[in-house]
Amino acid sequence: MFRITQRSMADTTYANLQSSLGRSQQLQAQLSSGKQVGRPSDSPIGASDIMQLRGERAATDQYVRNAENGLSWLTSSDSALQQSSEALRRARELTVQGGSTSLSQAGRDAIALELVGIRDSLVELANTQYLGRPVFGGTTAGPVAFAPDGSYVGDGGSVERRVGADSSVRVDVDGAAAFGTGATSVFATLDAVVADLRAGSPSGPHLGRIDASAERISGMLSDVGARTNRIDALKLKADDTAITLRSAQSQIEDIDLPKAILELQMQTVAYQAALGATGKVLQPTLLDFLR
């Protein structure tokens, strides 16, 4: 027959007490950190899931930041295009006035002067920057998209932002397409109107070119609006995904506070009771052993 000795009873009891004490210490550590999985040994499967969720969260958070950056680019472009559209509307009004054959030369010179100011303001708008980069200049490293004479000095590249695993959106605007280049640019058109007015010629023949410039800018405004809506939708999707991932990670990683507190209290009571009962049953051997 298997004989249970006082020594074996003491060893078993001591092991059980140590296990109970270890569980109490684990619960205390979880309560202090707020995490039930603080290291891989706590739950290898849980730790693996947490690492995967953290990676997905990092990617999703980056998509959100990219979307916010892209929206800022498009907002800058939209504002500049809106102001350019207003400037062209005024330029058209002045061109119509300058087309009157009964207008005096002094009147033509006054209109020409205002048109020069509009032309210069359009160059400034075409060189609108976001964080030091021209939003109409493509990927150029230079500070402007258009030279003072209205010539395009951008590189025609596109600035894109990845706002989803399979989604990239262009966030700049093709300056050459928006404002034109060479003899067909809005700047060359206004220069021609000013030259005719100062030479005493009516400006009416240039209305078609001004309208064409206005249509180009209007088309770009529609395109910017469409891209803004797309980024907004993708950002909303990324925000929702981030919330879902945070919730999933929290369920695996974070402790259930009320449950953990209750379990610690029960574990402490059980440990104290077991310690007291063991001391009475195994006196004095167990106490000597514990020392």
154: domain CATH number is: 1.20.1330.10
For residues 240 and 262, state if they share a domain: no
Within-domain flag for 173: yes
For residues 153 and 240, state if they share a domain: yes
What is the arithmetic mean of pLDDT over 47-67?
Answer: 87
Within-domain flag for 44: no
What is the Cα–Cα distance from 81 to 218, expressed in whole angstroms?
Answer: 8
What is the Cα–Cα distance from 249 to 123, expressed in whole angstroms?
Answer: 51
For residues 99 and 203, state if they share a domain: yes
Residues with Cβ within 8 Å of residue 255, at least 6 apart in sequence:
30, 31, 34, 35, 36
pLDDT for position 273: 55
* Element at 164 (helix H, strand E): strand 160-164
Question: Is residue 231 exposed (0-12), middle (13-18) or buried (19+ Cβ within 10 Å)?
Answer: buried
Task: Give the rounded percent of residues in the chain with a pLDDT score beyond 90.
Answer: 58
Encode pLDDT of 123-137 as tens digits.
999 999 999 999 999
For residues 16 and 77, state if they share a domain: no
What is the Cα–Cα distance from 44 to 218, expressed in whole angstroms?
Answer: 58
How much is the pTM?
0.74
Within-domain flag for 70: yes
What is the arithmetic mean of pLDDT over 78-95?
Answer: 97
What is the Cα–Cα distance from 126 to 211, expressed in whole angstroms?
Answer: 18
Within-domain flag for 227: yes
What is the Cα–Cα distance from 271 to 22, expressed in whole angstroms?
Answer: 10
What is the Cα–Cα distance from 177 to 5, expressed in whole angstroms?
Answer: 95
Of 31 and 282, the one with more pLDDT: 282
For residues 23 and 99, state if they share a domain: no
Within-domain flag for 52: no
pLDDT interval class at 53 (50, 70, 90): confident
Within-domain flag for 55: no
For residues 171 and 278, state if they share a domain: no
* Element at 130 (helix H, strand E): strand 129-130
pLDDT for position 32: 47
Q: Each residue of 15-40: b (16+ CB within 10 Å) or e? A: eebeebeeebebbeebbeeebbbbee
Query: What is the chain's Cα-based Rg?
Result: 37
Encode pLDDT of 203-235 as tens digits.
888 999 999 999 999 999 999 999 999 999 999
Of 215 and 8, the one with more pLDDT: 215
| Number of compact structural domains in the chain | 2
Within-domain flag for 46: no
For residues 160 and 20, state if they share a domain: no
Residues with Cβ within 8 Å of residue 10, at least 6 apart in sequence:
282, 285, 286, 289
For residues 175 and 208, state if they share a domain: yes
For residues 130 and 176, state if they share a domain: yes
Encode pLDDT of 137-196 as tens digits.
999 989 999 999 999 999 989 999 999 999 999 999 999 999 999 999 999 999 999 999
For residues 122 and 16, state if they share a domain: no
β partners of residue 254: 35
For residues 212 and 268, state if they share a domain: no
For residues 66 and 203, state if they share a domain: yes
Report the number of secondary-structure helices (H) and strands (E) in the chain.
Answer: 8, 4
Within-domain flag for 156: yes
Label residue 265 left, alpha or beta by phi (over 0 means left) and psi (-120 to 50 means alpha). alpha
Range of the domain at 275: 6-34+255-290
